[in-house]
Amino acid sequence: MQTVSPAFSCDLKSLIQTNLTAKNARYCHLNGKRVSVLCSYKSESFSFPNGIGSSRADWQSSCAILASKVASAENSSSITGGLADQVAAVNGHSNGSVNLSLVPSDTKNGKPGLVQPLTNTDLSPAPSHGSTLRVAYQGVPGAYSEAAAGKAYPNSEAIPCDQFDVAFQAVELWIADRAVLPVENSLGGSIHRNYDLLLRHRLHIVGEVQIPVHHCLLALPGVRPDCITRVISHPQALAQTEGSLNKLTPRAAIEAFHDTAAAAEYIASNNLHDTAAVASARAAELYGLQILADGIQDDAGNVTRFLMLARDPIIPRTDRPFKTSIVFAAQEHQGTSVLFKVLSAFAFRNISLTKIESRPHHNCPLRVVDDGSVGTKKHFEYTFYVDFEASMAEARAQNALAEVQEYTSFLRVLGSYPMDMTPWSTLPSEDA
């Protein structure tokens, strides 16, 4: 890893002090409202003076381009998120195929349209850092993740991302201050993709928030339920409303879509009168759809748990209930017998576990044991994710992890954070 010279550090400090010119380059106003700014790529060549742009926007944009190329070319590699690593990656880098210019997002009827999600190949420059917290989430406006971001950080600026991985990168590249991403649903179970990304990236869990999921059946105004021949939504949303859909639209074909709110947007943008979507009431409001049926989830106790992620951890405390999340792998040739010893370390200290999840060990997916005359046995190797109710400021938690470390090949604390103790109901919230 390259080191940052003192002279370059001085230049970086001056870049961070964003001037009015940089602000004007990142923002434009229309009728007193802010218009989102996106990156536009052309085939002309360019180069940064001394390996870095002349403004903070150029520097962060070049970081985004490099990170997105690395992610697409080598999915197994991780982005550390450290500022020194970001600067080292850009400093001295020569790129002769990409040109970056800022253009305002699309408008309709003279008014700015909805903010478009960040993509893995188009990460926008960070806006001027003010008092408003920037929170990345996966999906489009109207998604349940947007409601979770609003509950976790009220009055924040929500930044939609088209993929979970892009939300992680947005925080690592200082495009967003926080990310709010789902990890488990009370009916659908764990979201494995985000567990894998927690291990690949170096963000810290700083909180959690739980959102009741309230599904609605949406269609264009004037469309009757008996005219629906197709219902689209996220696979989990379709599974959670299967019974209701069989009653409301028995002849409709069920098709999976990558996002609930995106399904509603798709119907509105393509003027589909024979298609309905399973999404939130807020999605109906945003995209001008009518609600054919409200509260169509088969189980009223449908809750999704979201994690709040940041570049830096918070200081654990003992004056309120805390939860700690860890990930570990067993020592070589020890197998899953280590799991019993790990659980005993917590049970002996009266620490309650709230979650345990196993995922394949990517670096060592298979363990082969030679049994002499019998042959060889093949076992899958796993990494384990564990949540327990204790703060890392407590001696019992520290002692438990010290014992766990004796049985594992690696152990990482993903975060020690306050538990979500807010009451919730099955009624739809204002955000959802």
- C-beta atoms surrounding 136 within 10 Å: 28
Residue 250 has pLDDT above 80, yes or no: yes
Angstrom distances, CA of residue 365 to CA of 329, 335, 359, 360, 362:
11, 12, 10, 6, 6
Q: Taking the mean position of all CA atoms in its chain, how far away is CA 83?
A: 20
pLDDT at 143 (0 to 100): 94
Q: Which residue has the higher pLDDT, 432 or 286?
A: 286
Which residue, 322, 349, 332, is CA-closest to 403?
A: 349
Residue 14 has pLDDT above 60, yes or no: no
- pLDDT for 51-87, tens place per residue? 434 444 444 444 444 344 434 444 444 433 443 343 3
Active-site residue set = 304, 306
Q: What are phi and psi of 12, to 5 degrees?
A: -65, -40
Strand partners, 39: 102
Residue 41 has pLDDT above 90, yes or no: no
Residue 258 has pLDDT above 80, yes or no: yes
* 231, 239 Cβ separation under 8 angstroms: no
Which residues are CB-neighbours of 275 under 8 A, at least 6 positions away?
219, 228, 229, 230, 231, 232, 267
Q: What are phi and psi of 297, to 5 degrees?
A: -65, 140
| Helix axes 164-172 and 192-200, enclosed angle (nearest 10) | 30
What percent of the chain lies above the pLDDT cut of 90? 52
Q: What are phi and psi of 152, to 5 degrees?
A: -70, -40
The span from the CA of 361 to the CA of 329, in Å, is 8
pLDDT at 110 (0 to 100): 46
Q: Which residue has the higher pLDDT, 211 or 46?
A: 211
First to last CA, the chain: 44
Which residue, 71, 54, 44, 201, is CA-closest to 125?
A: 54
> Residues in the chain, how many?
432
**Mean per-residue pLDDT over the chain, rounded:** 75
Residue with tokens 């040109």: 99
* Per-residue pLDDT band at 253 (split at 50, 70, 90): very high
The token duo for 102 is: 């800022």
pLDDT at 220 (0 to 100): 96
- pLDDT for 267-300, tens place per residue? 999 999 999 999 999 999 999 999 999 999 988 8
